[in-house]
DNA sequence: ATGGCCTGATCTTCAGGA
């Protein structure tokens, strides 16, 4: 089974690229983030014609997540209990489904904006609530994974130059501790291989030639339980998809499983 | 990779992204 996660930065703009990419890679299950559309506007019909079902949790301008599968889609869960609100709004940042015997969460962790900003505290609360949500499945014997845009670089090596991140979000001890707590439920960081250079970055800013200069970050992660991680035969970042006009600023992370 | 942001809405200007 080929399973992947991709922050598409607008499903509306990325629709044709997405369809071509699914066909090119033969991906069975795809977790999507930052749809930037209403649930009604999600191209479910187009995907169905290509053989994929979709579980969509989206609310318009920002956020929005989905699980797209051609190997079944059961037990769909929109959001999770105890998910914190921001500014009184329950943002749509998580959706789960069981696809071909593998249970997956597609998550879009809040950005945090700046250290000390209310959004930063929200980000930490959100990760803590996610940890509580996945605890039972992570400890289970069935293959399970949380995939998505975590908006945290787990290690200093996961950004192109750590010296430029002094005081910035995405690399703080608090954010990394929240990720460590999540892993503490029994999840392993499935490290993808880069197709070029030495580190598997998944995001490059649109600005200032970030991609050509490889000023990237590894913030799109696959956290799998023992059954999931033990079945991984390959994992890579598809940086080819970051190239050219009309690319998302994130590249897909692809994982092959022997299940 | 052949370049020095992109997206959607509050819509020609701005918030948010990270």
- The per-residue pLDDT for range A130-184, each reduced to its tens digit, is 999 999 999 999 999 999 999 999 999 999 999 999 999 999 999 999 999 999 9
A219: Cα within 13 Å, side-chain hemisphere: 25
CA of residue A36 to C1' of nucleotide B8, angstroms: 8
Q: How confident is the model at residue A191 (pLDDT cuts 50, 70, 90)?
A: very high
CA distances to A20, A67, A73, A133, A205 from A64, in Å: 21, 11, 18, 19, 20
Show residues, CB within 7 A, near nucleic chain B: A 7, 9-10, 12-13, 34, 36-38, 60-62, 110-111, 113, 119, 149, 151, 169-170, 203, 205-209, 211-212, 217, 219, 239-240, 242-246, 249-250
Parallel, antiparallel or unpaired: strands A29-33 and A2-7: parallel
- Quick check: A59 pLDDT over 90? no
Locate A134 and state its tokens: 């996945």
Please give the Cα distance from A231 to A24 (Å, whole number).
Answer: 23
Strand B nucleotides in reach of protein CB atoms, 7 A cut-off:
1-10, 16-18
The model scores a pTM over 0.85: yes
Number of structural domains in chain A: 1
pLDDT in tens, A74-90: 999 999 999 999 999 99
Q: What is the CA radius of gyration of chain A?
A: 17
* pLDDT value of position A54: 98
CATH number of the domain enclosing A158? 3.60.10.10
CA of residue A213 to C1' of nucleotide B2, angstroms: 13
CA of residue A205 to C1' of nucleotide B18, angstroms: 8
Q: Which residues are within 8 A (CB) of A97 and not within 5 positions of it... i.e. 6 or more apart?
A: A55, A67, A69, A73, A74, A75, A76, A77, A103, A104
Please give the Cα distance from A130 to A122 (Å, whole number).
Answer: 12
Q: Name the average pLDDT for chain A.
A: 96
Q: How confident is the model at residue A7 (pLDDT cuts 50, 70, 90)?
A: very high
- Quick check: A60 pLDDT over 90? no
CA of residue A207 to C1' of nucleotide B4, angstroms: 7
A119 nearest nt, CA–C1': B16
Residues of the domain holding A29: 2-257
Average pLDDT over residues A248-253: 97
């Amino acid at each position: 089974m080929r399973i992947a996660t991709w922050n598409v930065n607008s499903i509306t703009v990325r629709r044709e690229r997405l369809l071509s990419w699914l066909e090119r890679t033969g991906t069975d299950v795809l977790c999507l983030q930052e749809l930037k559309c209403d649930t009604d506007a999600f191209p479910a019909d187009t995907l169905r014609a290509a053989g994929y079902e979709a579980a969509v949790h989206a609310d318009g301008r920002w956020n929005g997540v989905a699980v797209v599968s051609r190997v079944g889609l059961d037990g769909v869960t929109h959001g999770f209990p105890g998910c914190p609100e921001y500014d009184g709004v329950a943002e749509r940042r998580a959706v789960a489904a069981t696809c071909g015997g593998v249970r997956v969460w597609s998550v879009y962790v809040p950005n945090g904006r700046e250290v000390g900003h209310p959004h930063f505290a929200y980000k930490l609360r959100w990760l803590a609530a996610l940890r509580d949500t996945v605890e039972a499945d992570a400890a289970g014997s069935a293959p399970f994974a949380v995939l998505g845009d975590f908006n945290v670089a787990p290690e200093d090596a996961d950004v192109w130059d750590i010296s430029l991140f002094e005081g910035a979000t995405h690399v703080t001890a608090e954010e990394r501790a929240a990720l460590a707590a999540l892993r503490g439920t029994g999840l392993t960081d499935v490290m993808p291989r880069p197709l070029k250079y030495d580190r598997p970055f998944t995001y490059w800013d649109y600005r200032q030639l970030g991609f050509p200069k490889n000023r990237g970050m590894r913030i799109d992660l696959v956290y799998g339980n023992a059954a999931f991680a033990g079945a991984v035969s390959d994992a890579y970042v598809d940086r080819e998809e970051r190239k050219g006009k009309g690319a998302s600023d994130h590249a897909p992370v692809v994982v092959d499983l022997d299940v």
